[in-house]
Structure 1
Amino acid sequence: MHTTEHDWITTPITADILRGALDLEHTAHGVLPHRLPAWARAQNTDGQLAMAEAQPSGVRLVFRTRATAVELDTLPTKRVYAGAPPRPDGVYDLLVDGRLAEQSAVTGGNTLAIDLATGSAESHPGPAGTLRFTDLPDGVKTVEIWLPHNETTELVTLRTDAPIEPVPDQGRKVWLHHGSSISHGSDAASPTAIWPALAASLGGVELINLGLGGSALLDPFTARAMRDTPADLISIKIGINVVNADLMRLRAFTPAVHGFLDTIREGHPTTPLLVVSPILCPIHEDTPGPAAFDVSALSAGKLRFQATGDPAERAAGKLTLRVIREELSRIVKQRAADDPHLHYLDGLDLYGEADAEELPLPDELHPDAATHRRIGERFGALAFAADGPFADHSA
């Protein structure tokens, strides 16, 4: 499976060289990073969340070494959607001393065949593959391998041609973020190009990304996981999944938000906590969920979403993005009277009407690579500004 021109050193993949994961599951092949702890996963019955939290968005191997060659055997799980165009292989980003040096992918792996029309999924086993980076610069350096943000990745074996060691704590602040598929990185170009990774780089902070595709649903176990995770800065981006899942009405939403914030505050009573409302999504601004796949687009080989709710149902408490922005703003203003470290950021300041005209959402729901960059830069500029909610808390 690997080349022979190097004298390889195999290093166990353990938590001290892995960042961004809350748990490491030992499997028959190696280790599987998880972004929710085992006890939280045990309380979940939703297949979408189970898939999302096992996709290693923001998870990276980090170590110091003189090695000029690195190999990583992984067992990815590729998703194949019936009737939709093939998905590209997940991208691995190699950073050397904080700079992107190379990108690669791993072929093979397991396959998860998903039928969007019926919601059924079928797993097919496949072989592990090898990621290979050579000709790294001489000398001691920090190497980071960011795992594909949208592809479940079991880590099998790490080989280098020189010893490695964990990177000592450099005093950088830890930013813990929770959000939807947009925070997860859906349709971003690579794992370091998802908007939270871009913003973390601009802010000089270490990212723990709990962006969970389709699953930012105010789940109490997610709040407890955040409560129990050490962090210097915290943000939650809430709204789009609650609408497009048609999960709850306003009567349930308001106390659920309060409960989520209360739980986080149990473990982080004075940590800067930023509540971010949804970015613009025209199909759901005034039309409730549920969201559904556009069958006519799917038959033409395109993935597109549509809102299927009735705008008239807003009067009965059905949620839209406009309703959620107003309510989140009201909740934060109310709570901030007793919580000076609680802040609100309007998602329209990250991506609004003018942005949608210039950079429309290709599938009506998810931003493309250019839009991820814009959102990341905007968040970085707003959150880490001298008068921003995360001011004086970055390294």
Structure 2
Amino acid sequence: MVDALYIHWPFCLAKCPYCDFNSHVRERTDTSAWEAALLADLRHEAGLVEARPLRSVFFGGGTPSLMPPSLVAALLREAEALFGFADDVEVTLEANPSSVEAEKFADLAAVGINRVSLGVQSLDDAALRFLGRLHGAEEALQAVEIAQSHFARVSIDLIYARPDQAEDAWSDELARALALGTDHLSLYQLTIEPNTRFATDVRRRLFDPLADDPAADLFALTRQMTAAAGRPAYEISNHAVPGQESRHNLAYWRYRDYLGIGPGAHGRRGGVATTRLKKPENYLARIAESGHGIAEERTLGHREQAAEALLMGLRLTEGIDLGAIETRFGIRHDHLVDADRTRRYADAGLVWRDGDRLSVTEAGMPLLDALLGEIVADELVAA
């Protein structure tokens, strides 16, 4: 059953050198054309699923705070008309903390946004320049303050484990971020993704990524400081006051169905994975031709879905319920996880199992990717 909707706005003022998301820089956008296209794509998806009240709507990007509030309002009105909204619906919009965008916060709150995720990325001006950001640290702090005056819930993103970043420097920066009082923080280690400018810079030896051992130390420090501040990790990179976790992202990690519209958006409904065309111009052309922006629809087998549910769910501190996955996909426990390896890692204190509940421990989280490759049954991964 679908109760989450993702809307992708693909445009940015500039392409960040670390970003591999589907984002594009354009001098102008035709708001009326995009409104018509996104509404058509939304109606197409609504015709394929059983209508039920949405518990989450998420505007991601790109930079959705560049959207005119009138367009946000039109999409929310249509989503509510098509599906209905739960009484406590979470409506999130990603924003950059520039003063121009911050001025829109009052209008965005008025049309129904009740949670904002700010791409602060750093509280250090030199680091922001390195990351290719268009705002400064003071501007970010002002945007956080303005956001907190308009939205009930505010999250901030920070990137750490930057080249040569020292532990005391990150400790100071994170302490200042925690002092802002937001109820949610997404704290990501800098990852050099293929086909980004940073990947080219590393190949050209313009900088070296932080080594694994100091990055692991910063990861451990991050977990300690956020827990002490009452914002413990609930997912490997996400931290929140208990009860203020991102409902939308939990839908992904708990492997629930969700609809995705807009260029490059992914969705999952009724065992079918959907992908939209990435290039904005191609997306608009497909909408005009077919009434939707779908590039691919692919039926997922039960083994593939079970593997994805395990890989996503073990990112969460709460872990997974093997019994629920067995019931959902009809695959026995011993075909979901490798019992011998799981027992070995449990004895080493890296995973924890109690009946059907399986989770990665605090000691195991720094090794999550390697553990996932070991724990998930080989026959699922090969499916």
Query: Normalising by the residue count of structure 1, what TM-score does the alignment of the two structures yield?
Result: 0.32
More helix, by proportion: 2
More strand, by proportion: 1
Query: Normalising by the residue count of structure 2, what TM-score does the alignment of the two structures yield?
Result: 0.32
